[in-house]
Chains A and B, each alone.
Chain A
Amino acid sequence: MKPASFILTLLLTATVQAETNEAVLEHVESLGGRVRWVSAKQQALEVDFQFSGDKVTDAALARLPQLGPIEILHLKKTALTDAGLRHVARLNGLRRLYLEHTAITNTGLQHLAGLKQLEYLNLYQAQATAEGLLSLAPNLPALKQVHFHPRQVTTATISKISKKLPGLRVWPMPARERARVEAVLKLSEANLADAESGLAVAEKNFKELDPLVKELKPRLETAKKVADDAQKKADATRKPAEAAKRRANDLDRKFKDADRQARAKPDDEGLKKKAAELKGQADETRRKREELGKKYDAERRANEAAQKLKRELEEKFRRASNSRKKFELAKAELEAARLQAEYARREHTALNGK
């Protein structure tokens, strides 16, 4: 064959193929389906019929293999039956297959035995059961994950599957589910007990403290007033005391300076006299400082006591006035814990009754 005609043939094949592809794409879209690339780089397709509903029937799937390499196929809630899976079985590259809420049975499932790339199979709420998977799964070397509704599985079948194919994960997992429900029940009941004792404490506090609110209020008011007064007095005495302290320190330093100078020049009478004068002044201010300091200390202590009383009363009042809110919250908490325990118990019964 000449190179030119080879290219021509290639182009022709491509064109024929192309028309078919586009026709299939149109067909898929006319059924309310969508076609997407699987990822930005891969040249593989995802076909999504999950919103097509009854429009997708078995015959509608016959043309799918001509679309291109399909890796992901969603057939959730379609009118697909076992016969339609024959067409699906021709999609050799299929990795993920979604058959939730379809009429697929265990018989139909066996059509999929040739899908050697299939990794994921969703049968949630389909007619098929774990029994069907048990006979299909050994033919699917890549299969890693299968989903069922709890109604579609039995503990015995699941344990058979996991023994036969340890690499395959099937949901639900009854043993794990049982352990989960047990743990939840235990913890919920512990929470309920905590909430009950919490409510008892809150109720006791409320009964004790709530009547005190009325009594505490005027006492707190008085204590606040007393504390404010004490604070004012303490503030008023603090300033003169501090001023006196500064003045005393000042004079003391001046006296020491003068004294040093007088000692350095023992002949200078003037310096001696000045030092003596300053000593007299320093002694006087120190006395004054002590007197004012004592006064301030007394006021400060009185203030501290008043503030402490105020704080204590405030705390008491806060606890008393909060006791109602805390009681209400404890009631809400108990109600929530009760509901939680109730649900946990119901779940537990449902699982063990099965």
Chain B
Amino acid sequence: MKTHELSQRRDFLKLSAAGLLSGVSVPWFESMANAAGRVQRPRGKKCILLWMDGGPSQAHTFDPKPGGEFKSIPTTVPGIHVTEKFPKLAQCMKDMAFLRSMTTEINDHYDAKYYLHTGFRRVTSLEHPSIGSIASAFVGLPNDDMPAFVTIDAGNDKGNGGRFYRSVPAYLGPQHAPLAVQNPAQGLENLQPDTKGLERRLQLLGKGEKRFAREYNLPVVNAKQAAFQRAVNLMHSPRAKAFNLDDEPAAIREQYGEHRFGKSCLLARRLIESGVSFVEIFHRGWDDHEGAGMRIAARAPWMDGAMSALILDLKQRGMLDDVLIVWMGEFGRTPGDGNGHFCRAWTSMMAGGGIHTGQAVGATNDNGKNPGDTITRRPITTPDFMATLCTILGIDPHQELMASGGRPMPLVDKKAKVVKELIA
């Protein structure tokens, strides 16, 4: 079993350094071992999760079918089509991969959101950590100025779409809870310290907290103080400027679009650049029970513009191989008009991240009255998806962790099989 703390790594380094006397090690290595408390384990990949809350229609986006409401257009990869509403993303196909055979068992909003965020079905006995918190624990840099996991609210079209799922770190510890940005245009409103008395007040607070921690040396107390300290660090960090979109040139802001989703994508890029490991952007209102066609037609331009801008911008900056972009909801929608929930066969998208892009993994059928209702190739279950996501980010999905009460928990369901087609 692996833990994500530094201690083990330090042991490993000491052991390696001990090898010096047998004459096999390199001299610089020992000193690194001494300083191993400061030299950190390597980062995995970073991730931007674009969460389309409510369940986007695959037939109106990335799995077009003959006779569908939208026409299909070719992309830059021969043989892969998307609907006509996504002309810009169609030109980015070489950097994207579709997973067209998601099959995820749950048709209820909240339970499906929980399932797709954690890889486990919701149970009453135990809470599972969400993917963002997992990335915070395994990819994020401990004691960094910037938070490892940030969520951005990209607004909503309509109110419905079921209860909203909020990422929970569960047994990974409260330090891996997300920092929530309520409005991308405003960044972190309360970040500006009211200069004068702050330092003194913090010192006073620190004294009190120290005494409390001495008397009640509990993990939760330490975690709370650590979280507080991180907030203070962020307040003082020059990197906190990343939260301010006004610093971005107008031309780039325009590329991402003036819509709140575009601003969220731009903010995500700035945060990733400044050291955040996992950004989840959620846009609510994809629960299109009155027909997905018109709704998605109205939404498509800003989604198309912002997502393609994000991919192109990261690519231009030479960052795309280190950042995985994931687009998904909790399920797809019924084939045809997209009126109902549909977990049996739907599409998610991954871009960048150094994976094998320019392909569509899996396929659905397109004959009959109800096109696209069954998977004809390579079903991908929720655990499969989660194991794949973890593997791409550089997290071992097969490791076992200790949940509260000393209960060993696999990070991802043991039956999960990684989608090998995606991994380089």
Contacts and interface: CB of A to CB of B under 8 A. Distances in A.
A240 B20 CA distance: 100
A195 B294 CA distance: 10
Contacts of B34: 18, 22
Nearest to B88: A184
Interface string B34-45: 110011111100
Contact of A17 (B27, B38, B43, B85): B27
Contact of B298 (A13, A184, A332): A332
A122 B317 contact: yes
A336 B300 contact: yes
A22 B35 contact: yes
B29 interface: yes
A120 B239 contact: no
B304 interface: yes
Contact of B299 (A35, A147, A326, A336): A336
Contacts of B28: 17-18, 21, 67-69
Given A35-B39, A122-B317, A340-B301, 16 more contacts: A7-B21, A25-B38, A37-B39, A40-B41, A51-B274, A67-B28, A124-B317, A124-B318, A145-B318, A147-B318, A171-B318, A180-B91, A184-B91, A187-B73, A326-B294, A330-B294
Interface residues of A, number: 65
Contacts of A7: 21
A191 interface: yes
A21 B301 contact: no
A305 interface: no
A36 B144 CA distance: 13
Given A37-B41, A184-B91, A100 B317 contact: yes
Given A22-B34, A124-B318, A195 B297 contact: yes
28 contacts: A13-B27, A14-B30, A18-B27, A18-B31, A18-B34, A21-B35, A22-B35, A25-B38, A36-B40, A36-B42, A36-B43, A37-B41, A43-B29, A51-B145, A51-B239, A68-B28, A68-B29, A68-B32, A122-B317, A147-B318, A187-B87, A190-B84, A325-B290, A336-B301, A340-B304, A343-B254, A343-B305, A346-B254
B23 interface: yes
Nearest to A6: B23
Contacts of B85: 191
B316 interface: yes
Interface in A259-293: none
Interface in B42-95: 42-43, 73, 76, 84-85, 87-88, 90-91
Q: For B32, B41, B141, B238, which residue has the most chain A Cβ atoms within 10 angstroms?
A: B32
Contact of B84 (A29, A50, A184, A187): A187
A124 B40 contact: no
Q: For B29, B73, B87, B145, which residue has the most chain A Cβ atoms within 10 angstroms?
A: B87
Interface residues of B, number: 50
Interface in A316-354: 322, 325-326, 329-330, 332-333, 335-337, 339-340, 343-344, 346
A172 interface: yes
Contacts of A149: 316
A299 interface: no
Interface string B291-308: 000110111111011000
A273 to B, nearest CB: 61
Given A25-B39, A39-B42, A337-B301, A183 B87 contact: yes
Interface string A124-135: 100000000000
A17 B23 contact: no
Given A18-B31, A340-B305, A171 B274 contact: no
A107 B125 CA distance: 65
Contacts of A21: 28, 31-32, 35
Interface string A107-121: 000000000000010
A21 B30 CA distance: 9
A243 interface: no
B298 A333 contact: yes
Interface of B: 20-21, 23, 26-32, 34-35, 38-43, 73, 76, 84-85, 87-88, 90-91, 141, 145, 238-239, 254, 257, 273-275, 290, 294-295, 297-302, 304-305, 315-318
Contacts of B257: 343
Main secondary structure of the interface of A (DSSP, over half): helix
A122 B318 contact: yes
Closest 10 CB pairs of A and B: A187-B87, A18-B31, A21-B31, A147-B318, A340-B301, A329-B294, A336-B301, A68-B28, A332-B298, A17-B27
A53 interface: yes
B89 to A, nearest CB: 10
A102 to B, nearest CB: 14
A25 B35 contact: yes
A10 B91 contact: no
Interface string A216-260: 000000000000000000000000000000000000000000000
A323 B356 CA distance: 45
Contact of B318 (A36, A120, A330, A333): A120
B29 A38 contact: no
A175 B219 CA distance: 57
B7 to A, nearest CB: 15
Contacts of B38: 25, 29, 35
A86 interface: no
Nearest to B29: A43
A21 B316 CA distance: 35
A330 B291 CA distance: 13
A22 to B, nearest CB: 5
Contacts of A100: 317-318
A147 B305 CA distance: 22
A211 B87 CA distance: 38
A109 B306 CA distance: 34
A326 B302 CA distance: 20
A315 interface: no
Contacts of A337: 297, 301
Contacts of A330: 294
Contact of B20 (A14, A37, A51): A14
Interface string A11-36: 00110011111100100010000111
A331 to B, nearest CB: 9
Nearest to A147: B318
A18 B29 CA distance: 8
B317 A37 contact: no
